[in-house]
Homo-oligomer: A and B are copies of this chain.
C-alpha cells in the first residue's frame, strides 16, 4: 500500500518521525509536510501566493518534501503533483496535543486528513493527548494498527477517522472508544500590549473549558484512557435545522415590506 504522511507541526516534528518509523514497513511511504509549524491553521489553503517545495534528507536518505504552505496544501500538492501515484491512505500526525472537541475545526492535523477524504483517499488524523513528555511509541503503534485495519476494511463514505491517543504506555491503554466530537473548547483571553512605537497588539491565550454533554465524547474517552476514534466528515449542514428554517416566512423580495 502507498501511504502519504503529513502533519501540522512541520516536517521536522518528532511525532512525524515516530509515525514514519512505525508504518514504513507497511508499504511505500511518502512524506509531504509543512516546512514549519502550521498549528491552528484550520482548513486554510494557499491561493494567492506561490507554494515553495524543498526535498528533505535524513541521514543522507531522502525523507520527504517540505512545503511552504498549510497541511491542506501539502495533501493537495502531494496527490496532484508531487507523487507519481495516488496514495491509498493518508495519515496526518502524530500531533503533539489532542485534537478533540471544538478544537477539531481549528486543527491543521485534521485538515490534512479532511483533504485526503475530499480527494477520495481513506484518511486518518492521529494526535496524542498531551503537550509535554509524549510517549510517541504508544500513538505510533496505534497508528500502525489502525492503518492496517483502515486499508483492509475501508472507511464509511466521505468520512475520516480522527484518532486521539492517551499519553500512556501501550499496555495501560484500556481499548478503543467510538466517540462523537465533543463541545469542549478553549475559552480565549487576549493579553493587550503596546509595542515600543506605541502600537497596540494582542496575544491570544485561553483555557480548555468542558461544556455540553461530555459522555461519549472524544475528550471523555481520552480522559478515561481509551483511544478515541471519531468519524469526521466535511458536510457542515445541520440537517435537523432544515425543517426549522423551512417554516420561516420568507417572502420574495418583491413582497418585502418597504423599510
- State which of B51, B102, B155, B199 has its C-beta within 8 Å of the C-beta of A203: B51
Complex-state Cα separation, A188 to B79, whole angstroms: 10
Copies of this chain? 2
Given contacts A45-B40, A144-B259, A239-B180, contact A253 B173 (CB under 8 A): yes
Residues of B within 8 A of A248 (CB): 149, 153, 176, 178
List the one stretch of A11-19, A128-136, A225-233 in contact with chain B. A225-233
Evaluate contact between B41 and A77: CB separation under 8 angstroms.
no
> Within the assembled complex, what's the spacing in Å between the Cα atoms of A188 and B73?
10
Tell me, yes or no, whether A159 is within 8 Å of chain B by CB. Answer: yes
Contact A238 B158 (CB under 8 A): yes
Contact with A202, one of B51, B104, B204, B236 (Cβ below 8 angstroms): B51
Q: Mark A216-259, 1 if CB is under 8 A from B, else 0.
A: 00000000000001111111111111101110101111101001
Are the CB atoms of A156 and B231 closer together than 8 Å? no
Contact present for B40 and A188 (CB under 8 Å): no
Interfacial residues of chain A within 37-65, with CB under 8 A of chain B in the complex: 37, 39-48, 50-54
Which A residues, 17 to 38, have Cβ-Cβ distances below 8 Å to chain B? Answer: 37
A144-186 CB contacts (< 8 Å) to partner B: 144-145, 149, 153, 155-156, 158-159, 161, 170-171, 173-176, 178, 180-181, 185
Contact A141 B253 (CB under 8 A): yes
A242, B118: Cβ atoms under 8 Å? no
Q: Are A237 and B241 in contact (CB under 8 A)?
A: no
Classify the secondary structure of A's interface with B: mixed
| A48: min CB distance to chain B, Å | 7
Known: A80-B190, A181-B235. 14 other contacts (CB 8 A): A40-B47, A51-B201, A52-B200, A53-B201, A54-B199, A72-B106, A76-B188, A102-B234, A141-B253, A175-B250, A175-B252, A180-B239, A181-B236, A229-B250
Chain A residues close to B by CB (< 8 Å) = 37, 39-48, 50-54, 68, 72-73, 76-77, 80-81, 102, 104-106, 111, 114, 118, 141-142, 144-145, 149, 153, 155-156, 158-159, 161, 170-171, 173-176, 178, 180-181, 185, 188-190, 192-193, 199-204, 229-242, 244-246, 248, 250-254, 256, 259
